[in-house]
Chain A
């Protein structure tokens, strides 16, 4: 990234520049345009969503107020009416299986969608409202007032010839690697332990085959989160149904992956071969392989959100909620992006885009699910990625189920309490530690 450069400060080209046309950036640009502000949305990919991959489910309720009746036109693959949490060991599986038909009717709950489709659709809403979308353009650095290294941000440099763009405020929605937030000095030290990498295959299967394998009909679909499928590496897996493809993938903690023996696609091959997963995903052609990094540590890794002339939203601000049974980033990106857009529009109107003038962003986030959920679930990433949840719990759960359901006549049936005690002992978990972690989990999730 290029360093500080000079910008003569005449009338800026725009009221606001939003960097990155992912869900955060599109929502920010939409709110700015609706407030009547002149806004430019800059995206490095050839079209919005072209650089973006995820597991597969968008939780759309955040759109209810932004785009009423969004479900009538959003590019949805299937509506999730069945959610499973699968706990695996090499040879066993215990699954919690939840169905809810209400999730298949407006206002719906989760929807599978391809990000290139979804992000393009959402960015088009911003364009319809009056935002200028510039694709195929990489922002390479920030412009500072009078070229001073720590001066207020007054625009961005792009890789286009004569590509400097000036504005009263810049919103960095440039995703997990956010070089802009880092250049603005808003990030403390970057710790790889706060990140995971996700890899996924999109596998083509006929629609009827998917319906049959996953037990759904019509436009209903399934979301499966998997624990205990990543060997020694903290992480998890997922399977999602699209209309005529199935997505199967893994999320892997970076330091452990880098220290281990197996490569991501080898770990994924192991998941695909698991007796509980193979019958769901086998046989189809891989249509696309993809990879992307996730900010995993949530609240504890968030940067400063506000600087002079700059706001940070979405994954750029580590606002993805990655807490085991939840992997929600798109809704948090939309929520924070929209809040940033509104705060920026107010600041521009009041002609004060200093950090103080942009403070409204924080209060908007504090009073919404974005920071409320993150604050409450602050411990969740650590709990879910810890040794107990990752290594021991799957063995204990499946061991207990095996002992309960294996009929060992002529021996009488064991008592549940005895079975649990035996399995905990076998896997070296003390009651004291289990209670301690259980209480911590109860405080976090309860």
Chain B
């Protein structure tokens, strides 16, 4: 009998490459990582479906807005007032779904 085929899981890059983003010049989400330095929970790091919150060696957070689903998870789970300034991107920009 044939061995079952093993399908390798997609890399995170190719996962995100499947999504169209019309990147705005202006960041729609800004993270103040001086505030993050005091944060003990860091829920954003594990919960952001686009994996955009990257802890730095210095104890802060590196954030890039470009491949964002605009879902709202990060501001909802963030427990430090003022760490995340969240808004929608400029009209016509950001994520564009086609088959979802």
Contacts and interface: CB of A to CB of B under 8 A. Distances in A.
A195 B76 contact: yes
Contact of A190 (B19, B44, B47, B76): B76
A382 B65 CA distance: 34
Contact of B69 (A50, A242, A247, A292): A292
A300 interface: no
B73 A293 contact: yes
B62 to A, nearest CB: 17
B73 A290 contact: no
A287 B77 contact: no
A191 to B, nearest CB: 9
Contacts of A283: 5, 7
Nearest to A47: B96
Contacts of B50: 291
Nearest to A269: B9
A78 interface: no
Interface residues of B, number: 39
A220 interface: no
Nearest to A193: B76
A160 B90 CA distance: 9
A261 B71 CA distance: 20
B3 to A, nearest CB: 14
A257 B47 contact: yes
Nearest to B74: A258
A320 B10 CA distance: 31
B16 interface: yes
Contact of B18 (A45, A116, A135, A289): A289
A263 B49 CA distance: 7
Interface string A28-59: 00000000000000001110011111100000
Contact of B98 (A114, A255, A265, A291): A114
B18 to A, nearest CB: 5
A177 interface: yes
A158 B12 CA distance: 35
A199 B99 contact: no
Interface string B83-98: 0000111111011111
Given A114-B100, A197-B73, A291-B73, A51 B18 contact: no
Nearest to A192: B76
A349 interface: no
A283 B22 CA distance: 29
Nearest to A290: B100
B97 A291 contact: no
A230 interface: no
Contacts of B95: 50-51
Nearest to B22: A46
Contacts of B18: 286-289
B92 A292 contact: no
B55 interface: no
Interface string B40-70: 0101101101110000000000000000011
25 contacts: A49-B97, A51-B94, A114-B98, A135-B92, A138-B89, A159-B90, A195-B76, A197-B71, A199-B49, A242-B99, A259-B41, A259-B43, A263-B46, A263-B47, A264-B49, A265-B15, A265-B49, A282-B5, A283-B5, A283-B7, A286-B15, A286-B18, A289-B15, A292-B71, A293-B73
Interface of A: 1, 44-46, 49-54, 114-116, 135-138, 140, 158-160, 176-177, 179, 190, 192, 195, 197, 199-202, 242, 245, 247, 254-255, 257-265, 269, 272, 282-283, 286-293
Interface of B: 5, 7, 9-10, 12, 14-16, 18-19, 22, 41, 43-44, 46-47, 49-51, 69-73, 76-77, 87-92, 94-100
List the 8 closest A-B pairs by CB distance, nearest first.
A258-B43, A136-B92, A53-B100, A291-B49, A258-B77, A290-B100, A137-B91, A291-B69
Given A116-B98, A192-B76, A257-B47, 4 more contacts: A135-B92, A254-B76, A258-B77, A290-B69
